[in-house]
């Protein structure tokens, strides 16, 4: 495992998760959650974000997917926050707009130290297979909260919920890649205040 790899684990009475993240290189993606559609979304996010992700997650999905999806967001956010602690200044801002057929999604990130989530999506189908699309909000909220980032995510349009969700996760991957990449700014902290 390289020095740039961050590994975070979380165990509760509802979920057990281990996640390893390496933003310095892509190509190594392995995701096991027991929720096939969500695995597909995380794989798309990592592939298009060009970073390596290893995730093993299990939980009370016989009850509902909610706890697991939210906790994966929390653990991914914790890994991103640890990445910032390890590398110091990052680029801070990331933005991507991605189409998938008739769907178009936009994600904008500010690694600000101030958790905030704005998510807008009008999904025409509320389920994609067994997956409830309302859980995407829970994932993003957990991600932004524990990652201490400002996250704006919007499905601008679409007629197929699968296409909308997939374009959103691809845009998320691209925006994460930009925001958490190395800073090219001469200042140690990406803020005119000198502190985030």
Tell me the DSSP string of 22-51: ETT--S-EEEE-S-HHHHHHHHHHHHHHT-
Architecture of domain 6-179: 2-Layer Sandwich (3.30)
The average pLDDT across 157-185 equals: 95
Question: 16 forms bridges with which residues in the sheet?
Answer: 11, 58
* pLDDT value of position 4: 85
At residue 5, φ and ψ (nearest 5 deg) are -85, 130
Q: What is the pLDDT of residues 94-133, one digit of tens each?
A: 999 999 999 999 999 999 999 999 999 999 999 999 999 9
* Count of positions (residues) in the chain: 196
Count other Cβ atoms within 10 Å, centred on residue 115. 16
If pLDDT is split at 50, 70 and 90, which confidence band does 166 have? very high
pTM for the full predicted model:
0.92
Spatial distance between the Cα atoms of 33 and 170, rounded to a whole number of angstroms: 19
């Amino acid at each position: 495992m390289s020095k740039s790899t961050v590994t975070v684990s979380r165990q509760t009475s509802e979920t057990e998760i281990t996640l390893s993240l390496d933003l310095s290189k892509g190509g190594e993606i392995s995701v096991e959650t027991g929720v096939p559609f969500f695995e597909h979304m995380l794989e798309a996010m990592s592939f298009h974000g060009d970073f390596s992700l290893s995730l093993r997650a299990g939980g009370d999905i016989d009850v509902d997917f909610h706890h697991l999806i939210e906790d994966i967001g929390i653990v991914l956010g914790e890994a991103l926050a640890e990445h910032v602690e390890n590398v110091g200044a990052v680029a801070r801002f990331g933005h991507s707009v991605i189409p998938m057929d008739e769907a178009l999604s936009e994600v904008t990130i500010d690694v600000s130290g101030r958790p905030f989530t704005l998510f807008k999506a009008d999904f025409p189908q509320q389920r994609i297979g067994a997956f409830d699309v309302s859980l995407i909000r829970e994932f993003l909220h957990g991600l932004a909260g524990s990652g201490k980032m400002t996250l704006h995510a919007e499905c601008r349009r679409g007629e197929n919920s699968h296409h909308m969700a997939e374009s959103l996760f691809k845009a998320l991957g691209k925006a994460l890649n930009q925001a958490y990449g190395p800073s090219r700014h001469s200042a140690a902290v990406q803020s005119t205040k000198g502190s985030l």
